[in-house]
């Protein structure tokens, strides 16, 4: 089997220098003697946000963990991936689409962007072929439910493709969790499950007597941009920023009940070679019985926080930038806390989009709905 994978990976060696740790907290933690216009403990700051070496006093107000003499270089390599790839198995072409960018959680309704991409793929099929559309899920949930969901998703993709290719016969089949692509275990179980949630379109693209199919590889050049720091410290208290997209989600607690959390995604800001994603979380009731000291970690499913941004038109995914020790450039979800009705901000840095975009889809946790059409702005 030969593989030709559509990759959109950024080259190694590109770094963003940031503070060693970030922390977001609530306005209740603010120092009453803080100068006007500065709300400590509310907005996470990095050294990029400061127009020069900050004073120790400012650092103490703005963060709870930050050593001004220590910085970490974070590499962007591996943080940009394609959710679409092509494999060639003898005389058969297999186009795989990870369904997280096509469908919302537990849904078989294609977004408009997903319909357009599926139809672009369908337009490239050879004339008059028969194509099979196979739906697959991960192993979470009931087997019968997964089988039904995979069938409905396969049919949705087949219907969208058939709308522009009436000459092609599309055969939709759902397999549920019976054909996992990778085992779901270990520290990367969330990524493993994402790979298993997929739709595969298979077809033969050869003429009689031919056995090989050439599939063009699509590489994307690294995206770099100079970061120009501001001329003064800049603080944006969470209460002063309206989220661009907001939803109320349910989070299971330790007793099996579900807690309500209001989640808002702020406009994504492109800064140099990275983009900043900020998520506001407000618990609408006690979480695990606690009314205060509610952590971001608890509100996102205790380990289920996996933020990413996706371009639904090019099927490119952007995951958190990492550095030495595989540390993410993000707010510490354990230290960042709030109380019932209070809003706390979680911040994470992702690679800069490889192409200019007006908006992106944002995923925060695998069981949460997708936050669609989050604006992308320049800084």
3-state SS assignment for residue 133: strand
pLDDT for the residue numbered 303: 76
pLDDT for the residue numbered 234: 60
pLDDT for the residue numbered 136: 92
pLDDT for the residue numbered 85: 60
Identify whether the C-beta of residue 42 lies closer than 8 Å to the C-beta of residue 61. no
Domains in the chain with CATH codes:
15-78+224-378 (no CATH), 91-204 (3.30.1330.60)
Q: In whole angstroms, what separates CA 97 from the centre of its chain? A: 16
Whole-number Å distance between alpha carbons of 141 and 5? 30
pLDDT for the residue numbered 313: 81
- The secondary structure element, H or E, covering residue 309 is strand 308-311
CA triple 18-21-24, angle to 5 deg: 110
In the chain, the largest separation of any two C-alpha atoms, in whole Å, equals 82
pLDDT for the residue numbered 127: 87
Whole-number Å distance between alpha carbons of 270 and 249? 27
pLDDT tens-digit series, residues 310-365 = 888 877 888 888 765 556 778 888 888 899 999 999 998 888 888 889 999 999 98
pLDDT for the residue numbered 165: 93
Q: Which residues of 242-261 are buried (b: 16+ CB within 10 A; e: fewer)?
A: ebbbeeebebebeeeeebeb
Whole-number Å distance between alpha carbons of 158 and 170? 6
Tokens standing for 192?
């493993």
3-state SS assignment for residue 259: strand
Please state, as a whole number, how many other Cβ atoms lie within 10 Å of the Cβ of residue 60: 13
Name 325's Cβ contacts closer than 8 Å, sequence gap at least 6.
none
Tokens standing for 302?
């205790």
Residues of the chain predicted below pLDDT 70: 1-85, 87-90, 187, 205-222, 224, 227-235, 254, 323-327, 379
**H helices within the chain, ranges in order?**
56-62, 112-123, 143-162, 189-196, 296-299
pLDDT for the residue numbered 323: 62
Residue found by looking up tokens 């319909």 in the block: 115
| Interaxial angle between packed helices 112-123 and 143-162, expressed in degrees from 0 to 180 and rounded to the nearest 10 | 60
- The secondary structure element, H or E, covering residue 246 is strand 245-252
Nearest to 169 by CA among 210, 203, 207: 203
């Amino acid at each position: 089997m030969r593989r030709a994978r559509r990759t959109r990976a950024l080259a190694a060696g590109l770094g963003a220098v940031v503070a060693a740790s970030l922390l977001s907290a609530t306005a209740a933690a603010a120092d009453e003697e803080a100068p006007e216009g500065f709300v400590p403990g509310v907005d996470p700051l990095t050294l990029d946000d400061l127009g020069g070496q900050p004073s120790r006093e400012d650092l103490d107000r703005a963060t709870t963990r930050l050593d001004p003499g220590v910085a970490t270089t974070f590499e962007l390599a591996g943080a940009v991936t394609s959710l679409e790839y092509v494999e060639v198995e003898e005389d058969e072409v297999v186009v795989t689409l990870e369904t997280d960018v096509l469908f919302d959680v537990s849904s078989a309704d294609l977004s408009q962007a997903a319909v357009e991409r599926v139809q672009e793929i369908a337009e490239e099929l050879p004339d008059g072929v028969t194509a099979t559309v196979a739906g697959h899920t991960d192993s979470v949930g009931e087997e019968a439910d997964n089988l039904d969901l995979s069938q409905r998703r396969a049919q949705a993709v087949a219907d969208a493709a058939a709308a522009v290719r009436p000459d092609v016969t599309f055969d939709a089949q759902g397999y549920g969790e019976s054909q996992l692509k990778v085992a779901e275990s270990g520290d990367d179980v969330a990524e493993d499950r994402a790979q298993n949630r997929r739709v595969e379109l298979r077809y033969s693209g050869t003429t009689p007597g031919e056995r090989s199919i050439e599939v063009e590889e699509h590489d994307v050049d690294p995206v770099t941009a100079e970061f120009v720091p501001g001329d003064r410290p800049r603080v944006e208290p969470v209460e002063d920023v309206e989220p661009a997209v907001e939803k109320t989600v349910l989070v299971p607690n330790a007793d099996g009940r579900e807690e309500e959390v209001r989640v808002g995604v702020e406009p994504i800001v492109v800064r140099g070679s990275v983009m900043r994603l900020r998520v506001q979380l407000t618990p609408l009731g006690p979480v695990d019985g606690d009314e205060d000291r509610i952590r971001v970690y608890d509100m996102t499913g205790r380990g289920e926080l996996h933020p990413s941004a996706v371009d639904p038109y090019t099927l490119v995914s952007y995951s958190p930038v990492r550095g030495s020790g595989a540390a993410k450039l993000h707010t510490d979800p354990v230290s960042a806390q709030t109380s019932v009705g209070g809003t706390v901000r979680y911040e994470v840095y992702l690679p800069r989009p490889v192409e200019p975009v007006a908006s992106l889809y944002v995923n925060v946790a695998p069981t949460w709905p997708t936050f669609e059409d989050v604006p992308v702005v320049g800084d």
